[in-house]
Amino acid sequence: MNLKKIYKQFFLKFIFFFSFFLLSSCQKTEVLDDIVFDNNSFAKFNIAAKTKMINVDYESSFSNTFIDHSLSNPPAKRIETWLNNNITTFGSENSLVINITNASIKKNEISTNTNKTFTEKTEYYYEINISLDFKLFNDSNKIISYTEVFTKRSTTSGKFISLSQKERIIDMLILDALRDISSKSNELLTKNMLNYIL
């Protein structure tokens, strides 16, 4: 009978310690919000032109450092969607031609200058470059207004991160670059195409 009591106490202690270690080892799960590309949050333009044409002149490079070709929604596609949704034309003369001349993302491995023992010695450096040409032609096919808009952004990440964190970092980089190009386009088009914008 005494042996049964000892086993019962041992079993209860085992359950208690096992439960304690199990609960203490649980970590909070990090839930990342989705990044939303809402074109309504970017600048909108009404340009006096009969037609609008968007050309994607940029061709992705398959070099090791370029990664835009491997993305399901590359920057060129995001820019084209923004231009289609946020630039409207009106009138019966002139034609607007928008060329996407650059929409590249590069990823390079760089070394970090840190003396800390338990930190990564290398990290990834991401850089996005976006360049657009806005050309307004009259009916005689002569350029009556021209604007070039460019933006460049960069960020870094740890080398050993999850795929979802990597996608989030790249999406955030693209979103910030779209905000920049939208703002700069608004500034430069208002300045250079003042007579043709409502």
Q: Judge whether 90 and 48 are in contact, CB under 8 Å.
A: yes
pLDDT score for 117: 61
CB-neighbour burial class of residue 119 (10 A; exposed 0-12, middle 13-18, buried 19+) = exposed
Q: How many residues in the chain?
A: 198
Q: What is the dihedral of CA 84, 152, 176, 49, to 10 degrees?
A: -20
| Distance, C-alpha 172 to centroid of its chain | 4
pLDDT score for 164: 84
pLDDT score for 120: 65
> Which tens digit of pLDDT belongs to each residue from 1-27?
577 777 777 777 778 777 776 666 665
- Rounded average pLDDT over 93-99: 95
Inform me whether the pLDDT recorded for 96 exceeds 60. yes
In this prediction, residue 102 has a pLDDT band, given cuts at 50, 70 and 90, of very high
| Candidate from 42-56, 110-124, 182-196 with smallest mean pLDDT | 110-124
- Rounded average pLDDT over 54-67: 87
| Candidate from 57-61, 91-95, 120-124 with smallest mean pLDDT | 120-124
Residue 110 has, within 13 A of its CA and on its CB side, a CA count of 13
| Spatial separation of the C-alpha atoms in residues 53 and 65, rounded to whole Å | 31
pLDDT score for 24: 65
Say if pTM beats, i.e. exceeds, 0.75: yes
Inform me whether the pLDDT recorded for 180 exceeds 60. yes
Domain limits, the chain:
40-112+120-196
Residue that has been written with the tokens 């070394």 in this structure: 111
Which CATH code for domain 40-112+120-196? 3.30.160
Assign 3-class secondary structure to the chain: CHHHHHHHHHHHHHHHHHHHHHHHHCCCCCCCCCCCCCHHHCCCEEEECCEEEEEECCCCCCCCCECHHHCCCCHHHHHHHHHHHHEEEECCCCEEEEEEEEEEEEEEEEECCCCCCCCCCEEEEEEEEEEEEEEEECCCCCEEEEEEEEEEEEEEEECCCCHHHHHHHHHHHHHHHHHHHHHHHHHHHHHHCHHHEC
